[in-house]
Amino acid sequence: MAATGSEKQGGDGVKSFYVSTPIYYVNDAPHLGHAYTTVAGDVLTRWHRQRGEKVWYLTGTDEHGQKIMRTAEANDVTPQAWCDKLVEEAWKPLWEHLNIANDDFIRTTEKRHTDRVQEFVQDLYDKDQIYKGGYEGPYCVGCEEYKLPGDLIESEDGTKLCPIHKKPVELLKEENYFFKLSEYGPKLLEFYAANPGFIQPESARNEVVNFVTQGLQDLSISRSTFDWGVPVPWDEKHVIYVWVDALLNYATAVGYGANQEKFDETFPANVHLVGKDILRFHAVIWPAMLMAQGLPVPGRIAANGWLMVGGEKMSKSNLTGIKPQDLTSHFGVDAYRWYFLRAIAFGSDGSFSWEDFSARYTSELANDYGNLASRVAAMVGKYFGGALPEATAAGDAESAVQEGLAKAVDTADRKIGEELDFQGGILAIFEFVKQVNGYITEQEPWKVAKDESPEGQARLATILYTAAESLRGVAVLLNSVLPDTSQKLWESLGAEASLGALADQRVQDAGDWGRLPVGTTVTKGAVLFPRLEEKPA
């Protein structure tokens, strides 16, 4: 049985926690759906970095294939010029705008990729895993995929349509080279049975198992009717099928055939994040290709659902593509990063609405979280001159808060770091925020402050230390989701000066009570989540 990503280690004994997004087609600018997956990967890898782990986060662009070629032609430029423009003017700037901390950005037109793709395919050919044949069938250029007749839907006039793009398929007949995918059906089924967590969620796993159980067809791995792609090394009248080219980025980006030490310490991916519409490529074709080469398969294929607008999958072709900047300009980047992972269970489809975003922003970010931070800083400033007081009168109420933080840490670490349940992890953190708000409401420090006796002042100091120390834990826990806001809160609490950089705080230790030193200077900074103006016209 092939090793999984969680079992194999590199030459130094420490394997990177390796996460990838799909590499995105550059036929147009990115929309919310692309950003959703990329932010999820960023939160996951930031979380593991803050655990103190070695991490590698990869994203990039898929730049070959018929769809890209036709888009470039429609814009009267070469395919390479089109790709260069979109990558440099749209894709990379958006990831920077959204505070994506990727370690690499690979483009499939780069020589470091194309050379290795040819070597990989040549090796399969030399191993008698590839043969020449012909194929005729319905092809969706949008998916860059031959469709099975049973997968198609019909329009009102009887035209056969791609079920994803809702556009007519093209009937293609051409000479191709084929990979012996059909031979790997039993091996894949055996692997799925031995590794039930390989495909997530369970509904996605069931779909793939059912698909493979019905029997696999050999895979066409070349095209001969156009030339925008990586040439087949033994027959340059053909270019390598764009999906074979694309899938190999996960290996070529981390040193396959070029840097063995890097490859050993990184490959395979622990988690491939993919959209559910490209699940079969990643859960069937990709592991079969790796098995054919004797390489380890990934640890997990995690399929996220679709973002829906008006009941349709969000996409440019369906005219429902929304630019992330349309939202970040109003709500801010951190709130944007938070909203989709908070509002939608990862792995399920979810509907976006401006009204829902506004309501959650106001209720949870502004009122619950932002207001808590402002109130605590203001009271420490008013009653203790900004110097964090010592907690000397703790009781059952404070013990409950301490237990609440420890529970939030354990739950969030398991859900975000292990289960990829971003929503569940974020909810656990915000349940603790609500608990701290309830604690302050019940303890009424503004009334306790009127008691000028030593006992009264000790009680007031204890309440405010408990609230500030709680926020210290929250800043650590939310750093992967809300990095800019967490940094502002960290500095407001005086933690940067007293505890060091926020990035160096370990999430698994965030519940260790009493880390914020007595005497630390607490300042009331800018409002973390300002009141929203009306929705722009």
Residue 515: Cβ within 10 Å count: 16
- Assess whether 272 carries a catalytic annotation: no
Active-site pick, 8, 48, 282, 313 = 313
In terms of phi and psi (left: phi > 0; alpha: psi -120 to 50; beta: otherwise), the region of 283 is alpha
- Give the separation between CA 240 and CA 223, rounded to whole angstroms: 6
- Assess whether 83 carries a catalytic annotation: no
- Give the separation between CA 376 and CA 469, rounded to whole angstroms: 10
Contact 347, 304 (CB under 8 A): yes
- Give the separation between CA 441 and CA 143, rounded to whole angstroms: 55
Active-site pick, 8, 92, 140, 276 = 140
- Give the separation between CA 375 and CA 428, rounded to whole angstroms: 22
How, if at all, do strands 307-309 and 350-351 pair? parallel
520, burial (CB in 10 Å: exposed 0-12, middle 13-18, buried 19+): buried
- Helical pair 422-443 and 333-343, crossing angle rounded to 10 deg: 110
Which of 145, 140, 224 lies closest to 177 in space, CA to CA?
Answer: 224
- Assess whether 67 carries a catalytic annotation: no
393, burial (CB in 10 Å: exposed 0-12, middle 13-18, buried 19+): middle
- Assess whether 31 carries a catalytic annotation: yes
Active-site pick, 54, 85, 165, 434 = 165
Helices of type H across 294-395: 324-331, 333-343, 354-360, 371-384
Active-site pick, 162, 276, 282, 415 = 162
Active-site pick, 31, 113, 147, 415 = 31
CB-facing half-sphere around the CA of 65: CA atoms within 13 A = 24
For the chain, the maximum distance between any two Cα atoms, rounded to a whole number of angstroms, is 91
How, if at all, do strands 153-154 and 160-161 pair? antiparallel
Spatial strand order of the sheet with 231-232 comes to: 222-223, 235-240, 231-232
- Assess whether 313 carries a catalytic annotation: yes
- Give the separation between CA 269 and CA 286, rounded to whole angstroms: 12
Contact 299, 250 (CB under 8 A): no
Residue 196 vs residues 182, 212, 246, 274: alpha-carbon distances, Å? 22, 15, 26, 18
Q: Is 377 helix (H, G, I), strand (E, B) or coil?
A: helix
- Assess whether 162 carries a catalytic annotation: yes
- Give the separation between CA 80 and CA 84, rounded to whole angstroms: 6
Contacts 24+ apart (CB under 8 A), 503-507: 503/49, 503/50, 503/479, 505/50, 505/476, 505/479, 506/50, 506/51, 506/52, 506/476, 507/47, 507/50, 507/51, 507/409, 507/412, 507/413, 507/417, 507/476, 507/477, 507/479, 507/480
- Give the separation between CA 248 and CA 124, rounded to whole angstroms: 13
Active-site pick, 97, 166, 316, 382 = 316
- Assess whether 447 carries a catalytic annotation: no
Contact 388, 463 (CB under 8 A): no
| Active centre residues (catalytic) | 31, 34, 140, 143, 162, 165, 313, 316
